[in-house]
Structure 1
Amino acid sequence: MKELKLGFIGTHGVGKTTLCYGLAARLKAQDYVLDIVHEVARRCPLSINEDTNVAAQSWILHTQIADELLAAARHPVVLCDRSVLDNYVYLLVAGGRDDALDTLVASWLRTYDLLIYVPVVAELKPDGMRSTDAAFQQAIDDRLLRELDRRGVQALRLAPAQREHWLDIVEEEARSRYLQPQLPLL
């Protein structure tokens, strides 16, 4: 089987985690060996959301990369609940570009086989961690789309009108482009 690293991207509260776990469950049921890189911002000991800063985003980016390296060393399929790009976008919105981190992000983006952009389609629900400010959520989403275009990064962009089929679309894209069929178990 070809190795695969897939990253879900988008602002907070759009369903990346739900899609990531759903895809993992479907692939595991088909006997794929995989790992999930969970959103590291939740473990960040520094300020996140609107109060983020260079130190916090540097911690998040470096921890994300370390988690991805570890997962890829142990599993042929790695599903990332975020990517370095959408993590970095929070810093861009909060304080502007950081040359060193920008270079790191540009280089690391080449390690993803597939990025899947999850758009804003529903009202934010409080989760006790992420911002509930809809304007901030939209600012992150807008900036992420601009960064994708500015960097020429290709991503599978899920359509809001197809929300009930997102998981099917993502699974089909991953399987058709990257995952070889498994032998039947029985």
Structure 2
Amino acid sequence: MTSNYSGNRPFRFAISGIHGSGKTTLCHAVVARLRESGLNAVVAPESARQSLLLAGRHLSIEMEIEVLGLQIAEEMRAGLSAQIVVGDRSVIDTYAYSLARFSELDARGCSFMDAIFDFGRSYVKTYDLIFYLPVRAFPKTMNDALRDTDPVVDLEVLSGFEKAFSGWNVDAIQLEPNRAVEAIIQNIENTYKKNSIVSEVNS
């Protein structure tokens, strides 16, 4: 996706991918590198951990709406105090998991799904970059009650990501796990740092 970053607001990007792909570890590794270079960077944490519906195993389209709202709130709060905000998932993840989990919905559920799609198509444009981890980095046997472990769900979620990328015209940057940090840092240097310098010159 083409960044519209102009250097006069927080630079915000997100790392999307299936559960267990290493998003959280990668987010913190990138923030550490950015702080080492003198930049004020923070992680907008994965919002699913705060979901009361998910914690109670109330798997529903309403739960996905709750998670989406929490994610946006985390991103907005992080932007109040940082130059760079690293999102541990994005609105794309919510849509992908909604498609995978809820293939059959009543009329009300379909309206919720349509709302996620329509909102996501607009909101995804507010990210300066989207990175994508399409493979699982950790074993499916890890002890985490909030993660799906069914391999069929994995395939359906991956399909959901592709539908979001296509339907929302998102040119996500696919990452290779063994060089993901370097790839993200390079992209930040090509967008954030360049535009920050231009903004300072023009101010």
**Paired residue secondary structure (2:85):** strand
1:126 aligns to what? 142
Worse-matched range after superposition: 34-43 or 115-124: 115-124
| TM-score, structure 1 normalization | 0.86
Alpha-carbon separation, structure 1, partners of 2:15 and 2:160: 16
Moved over 4 A (4+): none
Deviation at 1:121, TM superposition (A): 4.7
Alpha-carbon separation, structure 1, partners of 2:114 and 2:179: 39
Work out whether 1:107 is the aligned partner of 2:96. no
Q: Which runs of 5+ in 1 are unaligned?
A: none
1:63 to 63, 67, 70: 70
Alpha-carbon separation, structure 2, partners of 1:152 and 1:67: 24
| TM-score, structure 2 normalization | 0.79
Alpha-carbon separation, structure 2, partners of 1:29 and 1:137: 35
Letter in 1 for 2:190: S
1:150 aligns to what? 167
1:173 aligns to what? 187
**Paired residue secondary structure (2:157):** helix
Alpha-carbon separation, structure 1, partners of 2:12 and 2:141: 29
Deviation at 1:12, TM superposition (A): 0.7
Alpha-carbon separation, structure 1, partners of 2:77 and 2:136: 33
Alpha-carbon separation, structure 2, partners of 1:139 and 1:95: 10
Aligned residues: 178
Alpha-carbon separation, structure 2, partners of 1:8 and 1:36: 11
Identity of aligned residues (%): 28
Q: Contact 1:119/1:141 (CA < 8 Å) preserved in 2?
A: yes
Deviation at 1:55, TM superposition (A): 1.2
What do the CA deviations read for 1:83-137 (whole angstroms, capped 9, x no partner)? 0111222112222551222222112111100000011154434141312222212
Alpha-carbon separation, structure 2, partners of 1:8 and 1:153: 13
Letter in 1 for 2:39: Y
Alpha-carbon separation, structure 1, partners of 2:168 and 2:162: 10
**Paired residue secondary structure (1:110):** helix
Letter in 2 for 1:61: L
Work out whether 1:39 is the aligned partner of 2:46. yes
Q: Contact 1:120/1:141 (CA < 8 Å) preserved in 2?
A: no
Which protein is bigger by CA-based radius of gyration? 2
**Paired residue secondary structure (1:46):** helix
Alpha-carbon separation, structure 2, partners of 1:110 and 1:29: 29
